Amino acid sequence: MNKDIEHANGYLQQVYERPVKRYCQVLDLIDEPALIAAYVEAHSAEHHWREIVQGLKKVGVLEMEIYLKGNRLFMIVEAGLDFEWAEAFSKLENMPRQSEWEKRMSFFQLSDAQTATDKWQMMERIFHLYRTEE
């Protein structure tokens, strides 16, 4: 599918049979087109590390999406209501290849922090709209 059409049509979301909560975070990349392209490629289905995805699932992440605009990344994480961010990502830091992945990704990011929880900045929701049944 053409990426412009995909963007215009939106992105499908997973439907869960239970309530979930969402975390939204932001992080900037070094503003160099070649570095941004390499970062995007590292996250592609062909190149991302399976151990990282397995670790995220193991700590309770149900869904994770990362969006890019210019050099700004926007990440959405969905998890169950019992999910505790700090606890989960503390466990994740000790999982196979996680520190290696973070070190590799740090090369592209405008942050001196060493862990994902310190690099990615939690965003504050200032508006929401829910469809209500009548």
Q: What is the pLDDT of residues 17-52, one digit of tens each?
A: 899 999 999 999 999 999 999 999 999 999 999 999
Q: Using CA atoms in the order 57, 63, 68, 69, what is the torsion angle rounded to 10 degrees?
A: -150
The C-alpha angle with vertex 52 and arms to 18 and 92, in degrees rounded to 5, equals 70
Topology of 17-122 in CATH?
Answer: Alpha-Beta Plaits (3.30.70)
What are the boundaries of each domain within the chain?
17-122
Interatomic CA distance for residues 22 and 10, integer angstroms: 18
Q: What is the pLDDT of residues 47-90, one digit of tens each?
A: 999 999 999 999 999 999 999 999 999 999 999 999 999 999 99
pTM of the predicted model, to two decimals?
0.87
